[in-house]
């Protein structure tokens, strides 16, 4: 009888460990995915601020619309071009 109880107890402990491993591992994965997602959102906000600063600077030369439309045109022609890069290139193209 004692041996059966030990075996049953061992099975329960193994199930708990498996459950813990699965949940802890998933929590770690979720944590890092959320961290990466938050960092990406922060980078997007920084890019938007930088783009707005470029457009404000272009506006000082009366070229805001030109820089904006050129950047949008560049992104249409090259969909993999990052938005910030398109605006920097457009700004440099118009403000020489």
Can you give the pLDDT at residue 84? 92
Can you give the pLDDT at residue 11? 80
pTM (2 decimals)?
Answer: 0.61
> In angstroms, rounded to a whole number, what is the distance separating the alpha carbons of residues 31 and 4?
40
pLDDT value at 1 more than 70: no
Can you give the pLDDT at residue 56? 94
Can you give the pLDDT at residue 67? 95
pLDDT tens readout for residues 23-65: 777 777 777 778 788 888 888 888 899 999 999 999 999 999 9
The Cβ of residue 70 has, within 10 Å, a number of other Cβ atoms equal to 19
Q: Tell me which DSSP letter residue 1 carries.
A: -
């Amino acid at each position: 009888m004692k041996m059966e109880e030990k075996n049953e107890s061992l099975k329960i402990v193994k199930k708990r460990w498996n459950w813990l491993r699965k949940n802890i591992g998933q929590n770690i994965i979720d944590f890092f995915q959320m961290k990466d997602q938050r960092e990406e959102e922060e980078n997007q906000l920084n890019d938007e601020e930088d783009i707005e600063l470029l457009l404000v600077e272009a506006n000082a030369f009366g070229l805001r619309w030109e820089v904006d439309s050129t950047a949008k045109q560049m992104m249409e022609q090259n969909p993999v071009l990052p938005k910030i890069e398109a605006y920097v290139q457009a700004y440099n193209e118009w403000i020489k």
